[in-house]
Structure 1
């Protein structure tokens, strides 16, 4: 039963929640909307986001409907995992909200750790590659890396900013856990 919970939890977090997370992050990072991967994310999330958008207008550059959709999907994932026995005991409403928010924060952190690893690997294997995936990873990672590069410039041609950001994100992940 534990392995089934792991598979279902991973699929929910990696496939479903991450797609809605991308729906929130792509406009904030000013990702190219004509990118094939961006288009796929938009198409997959539209069934939930578009009805919410009729009720929740954007606030400035922040798409509130996408954020609410992300929270709804995360809450559904936590509820399903609780029903499968992934979380012991009975939740009070405040505990449920806390678990949903902490799980969402951990998902965001883990997403960026994975994206930064991909960013580094792509910079070693195929620097300057013009592909939809590389462009998307670059657009998502640069806002995190830019402030660190100002503090720690490249040393002898090696850019260690991704390493320091990953270490910081891992420390934050441990603190939340």
Structure 2
């Protein structure tokens, strides 16, 4: 692969991953009813609104879920797979039906990664800056709380030691081994084509 192709892949992966992350965060933060007035929430809303407002005219929400955000993330993932294939392989002539499965798998893996890294950030922040009012940490806490609360309710009291982050991280890893890895094998995903895998 030429240096120009490598540079193109680096740019597509970096910029595409950031855009995809912001779109998926828009869906997740709305799903957990995170603070809309948080400065980071406002940034995410302002970034995604130009793409989502026209899409919402066609795809309404359903049962409190922002389906338009999911569709936008799916479209973005599909387009990124196409761009990566064009730069890496010199062609966009991939099986489009398989690419639909690849895009869906990439989104599921991205959501797993968001929760995994959010958990790591919260654990480190609890050691370094406990009870911080940083807007990013507040949003991460609001995002993780719906998954952490049931675990905390079941876990026995450990005298101030909260092991629920460890349980959640292990649970995410087990689900990844049981769900995502077999799906990647079943869909015959080429290496390096899907962001996050």
Whether TM-score is above 0.5 comes out as yes
Q: Give the one of 69, 89, 99 matched to 1:96.
A: 99
Give the unaligned 5+ runs of structure 1. Answer: none
- The CA deviation string for residues 54-94 of structure 1, in whole angstroms up to 9 with x for no partner, is 112221311122121111111111211222227x9953232
| Change beyond 3 A, Cα 1:166–1:10 | farther
- The Cα shift of 1:8 comes to 3.0
* Offset of residue 122 of structure 1: 1.4
Where do 5+ consecutive residues of structure 2 fail to align?
Answer: 182-197
Q: How many residues align?
A: 176
Partner SS, residue 84 of structure 1: helix
Post-superposition offset of 1:23: 0.8
Describe the SS at the equivalent of 1:59.
Answer: coil
Q: What are the equivalent positions in structure 2 for 1:12-27 lying under 5 Å apart?
A: 12-13=16-17, 15-27=18-30
Shift of 1:7: 5.4
Name the structure 1 match of 2:162.
159
TM-score by length of 2: 0.81
1:100-137, Cα deviation, whole Å (9 max, x unpaired): 01111111111111111111111111111112111101
Query: Secondary structure of 1:155's match?
Result: coil
CA-CA distance at 1:22 after TM superposition: 0.8
Q: Partner residue of 1:8?
A: 12
Rounded Cα–Cα distance in structure 2 between residues aligned with 1:145 and 1:163 = 10
SS at match of 2:78: helix
What is the RMSD of the two structures over their aligned residues, measured on CA atoms?
Answer: 2.2
- Residue equivalent to 1:169: 172
Normalization by structure 1: what TM-score? 0.89
Q: Secondary structure at the match of 1:150?
A: helix
- Cα distance in structure 1, aligned partners of 2:141 and 2:70: 22
Tell me, in whole angstroms, the C-alpha distance in 2 between the residues paired with 1:53 and 1:84.
Answer: 32
The answer to whether 1:115 aligns with 2:118 is yes
Q: 2:142 aligns with which of 129, 139, 142?
A: 139
Task: Tell me: higher relative CO, structure 1 or 2? Use CA pairs within 8 A at least 6 residues apart.
Answer: 2
4+ residue runs over 4 A deviation: none
